[in-house]
Amino acid sequence: LIHSKFQIQWLLDNYETADGTSLPRCALYDHYKKHCHEHKLDAVNAASFGKLIRSVFNGLRTRRLGTRGNSKYHYYGIRIKADSPLMQNHIPERYSPHEASAPMTRSKSLGQTRLSQQQLFSLCTLPQIQHWVISLDLAFYQTLVDVLVPDVLMSNMSPFLTQSCRNFAKNAEHYLKKAMQGAPEIIQKKKIQAVKYMAQGLRRYTSLNHLAQAARAVLQKPDQVMAMYNDYIRVDMQQVQEQAGWVSGCDSLMVHHIHNAFKENLQKMAPMEEWAEWLESIVDQILAKYHDKPVQIISEIGKQFLLNWSCYTSMLIRDLTLRSAGSFGSFHLIRLLTDEYMVYLVESRIAKAVNRAMITVISQVNLLMTQNELRLKGYRTLTCIYLRNW
C-alpha cells in the first residue's frame, strides 16, 4: 500500500493531463523503472503499471502513433510536467535522432576551421556531399512536418495553425531560393525539390486534418449517424458487389466483412478513433502477407487496393444518390475522409518498407499517378483516332 501511494505521488509530481499530447507507453514505463532502481524499489510489471496510471489519470487513452508508419502504442492525453526532472533527459520518441534517415557517424572535431563560400560551393558539386546534404534536409523536413501535424486526425488543430502551416508551405520554396542565390545550380535544384516535398506534405496533412475535423463533427451527432445507418442498410450491396467486383476482382468475403464492420460502426456510433483503428486494420490485413516482398510489389499491391477501395466507395455513393438518401452529405464527407486516410496509411507502410521519409513517398506516388493519367489520356486519344478512321 505504501509502495502504491509512493508510485501515485511520483506520477502526480512528474506528469499531467493535456489534450493533444502523447507519450510512448514504453518510455513512460522506462521512466518508472529507472525511478524504482534509483530508490531501490521493486518495480511492478508493465500491465500493473498501466492499470495504475489509468486509475491516476482518468480518461487516459491508448493510441498507436509514429512516424513513417512506425506505429507504437502511446498514452494519449498526458505529458511530462515542465518542471519535472524527467524533462531534462526526455527526447520525444518521434523526434529522436534515431528516427532520422540521415546517416550519423563518429568523427573527431576539425576545430574552428571555416570554409570560404567558394570552397563550400565547390564541395557542393560532389555527388557524395549532395547526397549527404539532401539526406539531412529530408530528415529535418520530415521531423518539421511531424512536429507541426503530429496526428493527421487530431481534434485540436486550430484554424490559425492550419493557415500558418499552409502559408509556410506556400512561401518556403521562395525563401529557400532567395537564400541559395549564387550556389551551384545542381545543389539548388536538389534542395528546392526537398523543400517541395515538405510543402506538399504540409498541404496534404492539413487538408486531411480539415476533413477529419468535419467528419468528427458528424460522427458526434447521434441523429446524423442514425440517419446514415438507416440509409446504409437500404443499399443494395449485392448489386454494388456485382458491379464493383467485376471491375476490381476483389475477394467477396473480405468485402462482406468490411460491409458488416462499417454497418456495425454506424450502429454503435463509434468515435473517430475507432474508425481510424478499423481502417488501419484493413490496410495491415491487405499488406501483411507482402511484408517481406520487394517494395515494388508492396507499392503495386497498395495502389491496387486504393483503386479497389475507391471503386467500391464510388458505387456506394452512386446507390445513395439514386435513392436520394437524406444522409448523402454525411456519407460524402465520410467517403472523402476514408479515401484520403487510406492513401495516407498505404503511403506510411511504403515509407516504412523502404526506410524513407514519408514526405518523399507521397510526392513519388503522386508523380506515378500523374504519369498514369497522362498515359491513359494518350490511350484514349489514340483510341478515338482509331475509331474515327475505322
Task: For 29-62, write each residue's pLDDT tens digit.
Answer: 888 888 888 888 888 888 888 888 888 888 787 7
How far apart, in Å, do the first and last CA atoms of the chain sit? 90
Q: Cα 277 vs. chain centroid, distance in angstroms?
A: 12
Q: Are 165 and 200 in contact (CB under 8 A)?
A: no
Q: What is the DSSP string of 260-322?
A: HHHHHHHHTT--HHHHHHHHHHHHHHHHGGGTTS-HHHHHHHHHHHHHHHHHHHHHHHHHHHH
Among the listed residues 293, 311, 309, 278, the one whose alpha carbon sits nearest the alpha carbon of residue 349: 293
Query: Residue 370 falls within a domain, yes or no?
Result: no
* pLDDT > 80? residue 385: no
CATH number for the domain harbouring residue 73: 1.10.10.10
Do 187 and 251 belong together in one domain? Answer: no
Q: Which residues partner with 80 through β-bridges? A: 15
Domain end residue (candidates: 64, 96, 128)? 96
- Rounded distance between C-alpha atoms, residue 3 and residue 327, angstroms: 55
Q: Which pLDDT band holds residue 71 (cuts at 50, 70, 90)?
A: low
Query: Residue 87 falls within a domain, yes or no?
Result: yes
Q: Which pLDDT band holds residue 233 (cuts at 50, 70, 90)?
A: very high
- Rounded distance between C-alpha atoms, residue 381 and residue 319, angstroms: 31
Domain end residue (candidates: 208, 231, 263)? 208
Instruction: Order the strands of the 72-80 sheet from edge to edge.
Output: 15-24, 72-80, 61-65
- Rounded distance between C-alpha atoms, residue 209 and residue 175, angstroms: 26
Do 350 and 230 belong together in one domain? Answer: yes
Q: What is the DSSP letter of 95?
A: G
- Rounded distance between C-alpha atoms, residue 33 and residue 42, angstroms: 9
Give pLDDT, residue 169: 94
Neighbours of 264 (CB within 10 A): 12
Query: Residue 107 falls within a domain, yes or no?
Result: no
Domain of 260 in residue numbering reads as 222-356
Do 75 and 130 belong together in one domain? Answer: no
Higher pLDDT, 113 or 276: 276
Query: Residue 327 falls within a domain, yes or no?
Result: yes
Do 69 and 146 belong together in one domain? Answer: no
* pLDDT > 60? residue 26: yes
> Per residue in 93-147, pLDDT tens?
444 444 444 444 444 444 445 778 888 889 999 999 999 999 999 999 999 999 9
Average the pLDDT over each of 74-78, 191-195, 269-273, 336-340 and give the range with the smallest value.
Answer: 74-78
* pLDDT > 60? residue 388: no
Q: What is the DSSP string of 156-212?
A: ---HHHHHHHHHHHHHHHHHHHHHTTTS-HHHHHHHHHHHHHHHHHHHHHHHHHHHH
Do 347 and 228 belong together in one domain? Answer: yes
The amino acid at residue 265 is: N
Higher pLDDT, 112 or 187: 187
C-alpha count within 13 angstroms, C-beta hemisphere, residue 319: 19
Higher pLDDT, 364 or 267: 267
Among the listed residues 312, 306, 302, 304, the one whose alpha carbon sits nearest the alpha carbon of residue 353: 302
Tell me the angle at which helices 252-267 and 237-248 cross, rounded to the nearest 10 degrees. Answer: 140
Q: Are 187 and 133 in contact (CB under 8 A)?
A: yes
> Per residue in 317-334, pLDDT tens?
999 998 899 999 999 999
Residue bearing cell 478515338: 384
Give pLDDT, residue 110: 46
Give pLDDT, residue 364: 57
C-alpha count within 13 angstroms, C-beta hemisphere, residue 223: 1
Q: Could you give the percent of the chain with pLDDT greater than 90?
A: 39
Give pLDDT, residue 82: 82
Q: Could you give the percent of the chain with pLDDT greater than 70?
A: 83
Instruction: State the average pLDDT over residues 161-184.
Output: 93
* pLDDT > 70? residue 380: no
Higher pLDDT, 71 or 167: 167
- Rounded distance between C-alpha atoms, residue 190 and residue 221, angstroms: 48
Q: Are 43 and 33 in contact (CB under 8 A)?
A: yes
Q: What is the DSSP letter of 69?
A: G
Q: Which pLDDT band holds residue 189 (cuts at 50, 70, 90)?
A: very high
Do 204 and 228 belong together in one domain? Answer: no
What are the grid coordinates assigned to 268, written together? 454503435
Among the listed residues 386, 378, 14, 366, the one whose alpha carbon sits nearest the alpha carbon of residue 199: 366
Furthest CA-CA distance within the chain: 91
Do 46 and 82 belong together in one domain? Answer: yes
Do 170 and 197 belong together in one domain? Answer: yes
Query: Residue 228 falls within a domain, yes or no?
Result: yes
Query: Residue 343 falls within a domain, yes or no?
Result: yes
> Per residue in 347-357, pLDDT tens?
988 888 878 88
- Rounded distance between C-alpha atoms, residue 35 and residue 55, angstroms: 20
Give pLDDT, residue 210: 93
Give pLDDT, residue 174: 94
Domain end residue (candidates: 182, 208, 234)? 208
Do 195 and 310 belong together in one domain? Answer: no
- Rounded distance between C-alpha atoms, residue 144 and residue 139, angstroms: 9
Q: Are 118 and 125 in contact (CB under 8 A)?
A: no
Do 300 and 336 belong together in one domain? Answer: yes
Do 273 and 204 belong together in one domain? Answer: no
- Rounded distance between C-alpha atoms, residue 353 and residue 139, angstroms: 16
Query: Which burial class, exposed, middle or buried, applies to 350 when counting CB atoms under 10 A from its CB (0-12, 13-18, 19+)?
Result: buried
Query: Residue 214 falls within a domain, yes or no?
Result: no
Q: Are 251 and 298 in contact (CB under 8 A)?
A: no
Query: Residue 246 falls within a domain, yes or no?
Result: yes
Q: What is the DSSP letter of 42?
A: P
Total tally of structural domains belonging to the chain: 3
- Rounded distance between C-alpha atoms, residue 61 and residue 253, angstroms: 32
Do 226 and 348 belong together in one domain? Answer: yes
- Rounded distance between C-alpha atoms, residue 229 and residue 227, angstroms: 5
